[in-house]
Amino acid sequence: MILFASNIRGDASGNVHNYNNPNNAAILANPSTYIAPLQAKGIKVIMGNLGDHTGAGFANLTAAQIGTYTDDLVAYDNIVDGYDFDDEWAEYGTRGYPYANSTSYSNMIIALAGKTNKSISVFDWGNTGTLSSTAISHLDWGCQGSLNGYGFNSSFAASKYLPLFVNLTSPLSDTAIRSRTTQAKNADARGICFFNLPMSPYRLSSFNAAAQAFGETVTHTGTTYTKDYGN
């Protein structure tokens, strides 16, 4: 499960750090309440990271900025199971920051891999096409980036790629989900992804459609938890 999302944020002085919005800040500050119970069930909890309209992003960082930013991330090593990167909304080339380049994203991932043993993953969007084979070797997985889309990226082994990305706000039909999940299974894919998990069980049929590709079913406990954190 990805906590979506904390942000990479640059300031007017050129400093780049992690920023947690009120929702992620509340969750990360109370791991025994919101994170550890999921981990106890075998669910990996991943810290999602996203651009924040400040001009700084994963693909335009200097070595010094990579150092401070990745230091910020690994401060959560004792809380989360990994770090996911979604290269959107950085607004490269604005607010005094340079345009994206072909090496920074790879250098950031490689630097982070040198500081943590936790999972590192990417949403296949933005500048993921610049990632080097060395950077990709440090990734646990990459996720196909088009809502309700299906497809592989030849830069990734199938075993490290999630080719199906289901938007639960407006999902594919259950028949399509079952069919695409079966395709992913038969291609030895890393898995599939669901986006916009609702706070109620009304999309249970979508999960069941995917589970049926493995001969399984999904049930709901009957308990729905209200949001009691953040904004």
What DSSP line would sit under 65-121, residue for residue? HHHHHHHHHHTTTTT-SEEEEE--S--TT-TTPPPP-SSHHHHHHHHHHTT--SEEE
Q: Nearest CA to 138 among 159, 118, 165?
A: 118
CB atoms within 10 A of CB 214: 10
Query: Can you give 20-34 as a three-state secondary structure string?
Result: CCHHHHHHHHCHHHH
Question: Which residues are known to be catalytic?
Answer: 88
Residue 154 burial class via C-beta count within 10 angstroms: exposed 0-12, middle 13-18, buried 19 and up: exposed
Q: List all residues 6 or more positions away from 8 whose beta carbon is below 8 Å from its beta carbon.
A: 16, 17, 18, 19, 49, 50, 51, 52, 56, 57, 58, 69, 90
